[in-house]
């Protein structure tokens, strides 16, 4: 679990800034977008790292995909649980549509699984699975402002979408 939180040689594909977020490097690439490590700098030297998911350019041309990204952000922002990656902002800069999430320092469960081929401690696997289930339960039991169930279903539960922080806590994303 001592994986470096930032790629040793960040890829510099994509924009350098998205609004107030400075792109540092690429973290992951998926079907809908690319996730970048980004920094927000504020007054008096304040800085904070975030993960910014940018919709792929060819999908950003389709209003339906932009709406899906916005829906994902709106719904995920309502979930406040230690086993769910928090969404903190949404925006667009030029043709780039993006979601800003908390940055989880640590690898995905997929990375941990690959790295520990010879030795996969059962207690680590059980802990990650329990945390993931807790996060999914929080999403699946989410209600609207009137207390009505939203009936959410996470349609992409995979080892790549479970992040294991250096604190040992697993968080579901996407």
Residues marked as catalytic: 156
Query: From CA 86, how far away is CA 48, in angstroms rounded?
Result: 14
Q: How many CA atoms lie within 13 A of 3 on its CB side?
A: 24
Long-range contacts of 152-156 (CB under 8 A, 24+ apart): 152/75
Report DSSP state, residue 159: G
Cα separations in angstroms, 114 against 80, 108, 159:
30, 10, 10
Query: From CA 40, how far away is CA 48, in angstroms rounded?
Result: 5
Nearest-CA neighbor of 32 among 123, 97, 121? 97
């Amino acid at each position: 679990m001592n994986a470096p939180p930032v790629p040793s040689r960040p890829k510099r594909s994509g924009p350098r800034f998205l609004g107030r977020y400075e792109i540092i490097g690429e973290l992951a690439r998926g079907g809908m977008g690319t996730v970048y490590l980004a920094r927000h700098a504020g007054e008096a030297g304040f800085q904070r790292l975030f993960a910014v998911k940018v919709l792929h350019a060819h999908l950003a041309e389709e209003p339906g995909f932009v709406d899906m990204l916005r829906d994902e952000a709106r719904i995920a922002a309502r979930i406040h649980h230690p086993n769910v990656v928090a969404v903190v902002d949404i925006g667009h800069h030029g043709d780039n549509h993006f979601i800003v999430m908390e940055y989880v320092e640590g690898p995905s469960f997929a990375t941990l699984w690959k790295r520990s081929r010879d030795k996969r401690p059962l207690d680590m696997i059980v802990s990650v699975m329990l945390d993931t289930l807790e996060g999914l339960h929080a999403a699946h039991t989410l209600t609207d402002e009137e207390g009505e169930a939203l009936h959410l279903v996470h349609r992409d539960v995979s080892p790549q979408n479970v992040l294991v922080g250096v604190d040992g806590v697993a968080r579901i994303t996407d």
